[in-house]
Chain A
């Protein structure tokens, strides 16, 4: 018989569970544990939201001078020069 999953085991597998990177059998064990454990269900919710939040951080724009320098380099290197054709 399968031994029941405990909270520590679930907590350690939580990333794989959320990203669905685990064998079906293990997913089922996690599902079973979640049904009976409100603590882990809350923890799962916390981790899901955390992952969501880390995925959409505010973007820092590149400083304007740095972008200008890059664009100038880009033009020299890659933009077709009409005068040469």
Chain B
């Protein structure tokens, strides 16, 4: 088993796949544990409950076990894994009465509430912060490590619209490359960028109010 700090030095993907094919149980256990949370979060974007998402993830692992021999390494293992997951989640989501297809379309302006513009003397329109962003650098460092803060981040991600949740999970947590995320979700690079940006912006805003209340408390 790899501990948290050893994660960045996990064996290369080729070695990992080899080791799985040889039937190395410890590797399998590690891989399952490593990706479980992320897979559930992504699946959750397509199906109506965490319980159903867990089932989709379970089906995904079964498909991985059966499909290891056909994995050709043309994409990363991670990308392949998420591809299987998304296919299963989409199929399952379509079957669930309550589920709605993920909406990847973009609305308007991100900063309309935070930034204001005023016409200065010349014809240029300048944009300034309506509310000055708080200096997080002045907050006690311990605040960032608190369990409460982590819970807040998790909740904020949970509350995001599905498309944003998918992108921030895949990019932020699982470290998939932008191109991989676009490919897996079937969205454009620009779309991916905006969704990620909006997701981060919203999590930031929720953290900010959380910090404010914690400090004032």
Please tell me if the beta carbons of A53 and B149 are within 8 angstroms of each other in the complex: yes
**What is the total number of residues of chain A having a CB less than 8 Å from a CB of chain B?**
44
B11 close to chain A: CB less than 8 A = no
In the complex, A46 Cα to B212 Cα: how many Å?
A: 13
- List CB contacts (< 8 Å) of A43-73 with chain B: 43, 45-47, 49-51, 53-63, 66-67, 69-71, 73
Please tell me if the beta carbons of A74 and B33 are within 8 angstroms of each other in the complex: no
Determine chain B's interface SS by DSSP, over half rule. helix
A67 with B193: in contact, given A8-B127, A45-B137, A58-B150 (CB under 8 Å)? Answer: no
Interface centre among A42, A47, A53 (most CB of B within 10 A): A53
In the complex, A46 Cα to B149 Cα: how many Å?
A: 14
Please tell me if the beta carbons of B157 and A74 are within 8 angstroms of each other in the complex: no
B96 close to chain A: CB less than 8 A = no
A36 contact set on B, CB distance < 8 A: none
Determine chain A's interface SS by DSSP, over half rule. helix
A79 contact set on B, CB distance < 8 A: 23, 25
A84 close to chain B: CB less than 8 A = no
Name which of B59-67, B82-90, B97-105 contacts chain A.
Answer: B59-67
Which residue of A has the minimal Cβ distance to B115? Answer: A8
Interface centre among A3, A55, A80 (most CB of B within 10 A): A55
Chain A interface (Cβ < 8 Å from any Cβ of B): 3, 6-9, 11-12, 14-16, 21, 39-40, 42-43, 45-47, 49-51, 53-63, 66-67, 69-71, 73-75, 77-80
Q: 22 interchain pairs (CB within 8 A)?
A: A3-B124, A7-B128, A8-B111, A42-B133, A42-B134, A43-B129, A45-B137, A47-B200, A49-B144, A50-B200, A54-B172, A55-B173, A58-B147, A59-B36, A66-B54, A67-B29, A69-B58, A70-B28, A71-B29, A78-B68, A79-B23, A79-B25
Chain B interface (Cβ < 8 Å from any Cβ of A): 20-23, 25, 28-29, 32-33, 36-37, 40, 54, 57-58, 61-62, 65-66, 68, 110-111, 114-115, 117, 124, 126-129, 132-137, 144, 147, 149-150, 153-154, 157, 168, 172-173, 175, 178, 193, 196-197, 200-201, 203-204, 207-208
